[in-house]
């Protein structure tokens, strides 16, 4: 029997748990849904909330198919509950993208990444 190829999807987000917004929970649910499919490995790049949390989330039964990579972040001045990437995050994310070699990169909160952050 021919084995099925595993595709790697990378999500770059500014909203992700422990943030409790609807966007954050949707981003987690979407990542988990893709990771539960047989053909995807999912890497999520999410804020580190200035190191205020542990690096991992309890994700059951996904056997390395859902990877959470935290990037250095800072509060966005107009709305301090939103954390956006720091300058050094761009290089870190680029290096991790080179390591994981995703087949598809999906950026959510695009206006935050390009207008409100360091990129």
Using one digit for the tens of pLDDT, what is the confidence trace for 54-113? Answer: 545 555 567 789 999 999 988 888 878 888 888 888 889 999 999 999 999 998 765 565
Query: Residue 38: which CATH number?
Result: 3.40.50.2000
User: Is there a domain that residue 107 lies in?
Assistant: yes
| Nearest Cα to Cα of residue 8 among 103, 93, 89 | 103
| Nearest Cα to Cα of residue 9 among 35, 36, 47 | 35
User: Is there a domain that residue 55 lies in?
Assistant: yes
d(CA 6, CA 94): 21
Does this model's pTM top 0.75?
yes
Check pLDDT > 50 for residue 32.
Answer: yes
Alpha-helix residue ranges (DSSP H) falling in 43-112? 87-100, 110-111
The Cα-based distances of 118 to 77, 85, 88 in angstroms read 13, 6, 9
User: Is there a domain that residue 1 lies in?
Assistant: no
User: Is there a domain that residue 85 lies in?
Assistant: yes
d(CA 10, CA 109): 14
Determine the pLDDT at residue 26.
92
User: Is there a domain that residue 102 lies in?
Assistant: yes
User: Is there a domain that residue 57 lies in?
Assistant: yes
Q: Which domain holds residue 75?
A: 7-116
Higher pLDDT, 81 or 28: 28
User: Is there a domain that residue 2 lies in?
Assistant: no
Cα–chain-centroid distance for residue 54? 15
Domain count of the chain? Answer: 1
């Amino acid at each position: 029997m021919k084995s099925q190829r595993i595709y790697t999807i990378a999500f770059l987000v500014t909203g992700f748990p422990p943030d409790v917004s609807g966007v954050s929970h949707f981003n987690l649910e979407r990542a988990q849904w893709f990771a539960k499919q047989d053909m995807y490995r999912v890497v999520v790049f999410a804020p580190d909330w200035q190191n205020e949390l542990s690096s991992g989330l309890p994700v059951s039964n996904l056997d390395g198919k859902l990877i959470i990579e935290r990037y250095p972040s800072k509060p966005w001045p107009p709305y301090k509950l939103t954390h956006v990437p720091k300058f050094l995050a761009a290089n870190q994310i680029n290096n991790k993208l080179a390591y994981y070699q995703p087949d598809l990169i999906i950026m959510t909160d695009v206006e935050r990444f390009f207008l409100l952050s360091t990129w």
